[in-house]
Amino acid sequence: MSSLFDIAGRRALVTGSSRGIGFALARALAEAGAEVILNARNAAALDAARTRLQQVASAPVHTAPFDVTDEDDVRRAIGDLGAVDILVNNAGMQRRAPFPDFATTDFDALLATNVRSVFLVSREVSRAMIERSAGKIITICSVQSELARPGIAPYSATKGAVRMLVKGMCADLGPHGIQVNGLAPGYFSTELTQALVADEQFTEWVRTRTPAGRWGQVEDLAGTLLWLASPASDFVNGQTIFVDGGMTAVL
Ligand code: NDP
């Protein structure tokens, strides 16, 4: 492999990686030779994920069970981890309800899990990156940061906030040799989207609305992630790359 894309031996923390998109991203990093640290709240699910990942990984795989919304937990966990070269802010959640019925508790939970988490984890990890004048922070956004759909206004707002957080962190951390970028998936079948996958009308809408004519498969995200994590993207900063089969390119 060209050294441009070489991330062998780099230490990568992927939040929310016990399943779904996070696990697929962790797997891509592990297969490329990175030393991966898996995170989620459920320690048993994390152990199971580590066992699966160890089957394809050439470098060690670690687990770090902590809640990305809890400041003390994040501080303690990141302090214990040591250097992280690549941070993937992936942990996230979804809540759906028509706008007037959206509960305040759900709005607050979305803000905490999708935005506060990115702020807390990036802040703690970036301190050591600044000392080393190097690091890659990749944050999972969404097509919903660009397109509105009924029933998910607060979710869309959190993903829009995250896109601006990416740009703002780039402004502060770029001068320290750190790249901060976003990766925005289209619709992918995971636990988070189970209700949508089960809805035939919605599933068909995704197919016809997407130029690629299909839902995303988690493996579709690997190439862009590895590029953003590698030296090949060293002059790319503050950008959010959409991996959505063309959904946001067309009306
Ligand atoms: P899943 O629900 O399948 O997985 C979410 C992961 O995050 C789990 O590992 C979960 O583990 C972890 N997690 C949730 N809350 C926390 C927390 N407070 N602290 C630590 N870990 C947490 O989601 P997806 O894989 O579908 O989504 C991953 C990301 O991709 C999210 O940011 C989502 O918004 C985004 N996305 C998803 C799309 C899709 O179509 N699926 C489309 C666009 C964006 P545990 O519960 O044990 O903590």
The per-residue pLDDT for 1 is: 54
Which CA distances in Å does 26 have to 31, 34, 129, 217, 248?
Answer: 9, 9, 20, 15, 26
Residue 29 has pLDDT above 70, yes or no: yes
Catalytic status, residue 187: no
For residue 224, give the nearest of 122, 121, 136 by alpha carbon. 136
CA–CA dist 26, 198 (Å, integer): 26
Q: Which CATH superfamily is domain 3-242 in?
A: NAD(P)-binding Rossmann-like Domain (3.40.50.720)
CA of 2 to the centre of ligand 1 (A): 32
Read off the pLDDT of residues 63-109 as tens digits, 9 standing for 90 and up: 999 999 999 999 999 999 999 999 999 999 999 999 999 999 999 99
CA of 91 to the centre of ligand 1 (A): 4
Mean pLDDT of all residues in 1-19:
94
**Predicted interface score ipTM higher than 0.90:** yes
Mean pLDDT of all residues in 17-27:
98
Closest ligand 1 atom, CA of 70?
Answer: 18
Domain boundaries, the chain: 3-242
Return the percent helix, strand and coil in the chain, to nearest 5. 55, 15, 30
The per-residue pLDDT for 102 is: 96
Read off the pLDDT of residues 148-189 as tens digits, 9 standing for 90 and up: 999 999 999 999 999 999 999 999 999 999 999 999 999 999
Residue 217 has pLDDT above 70, yes or no: yes
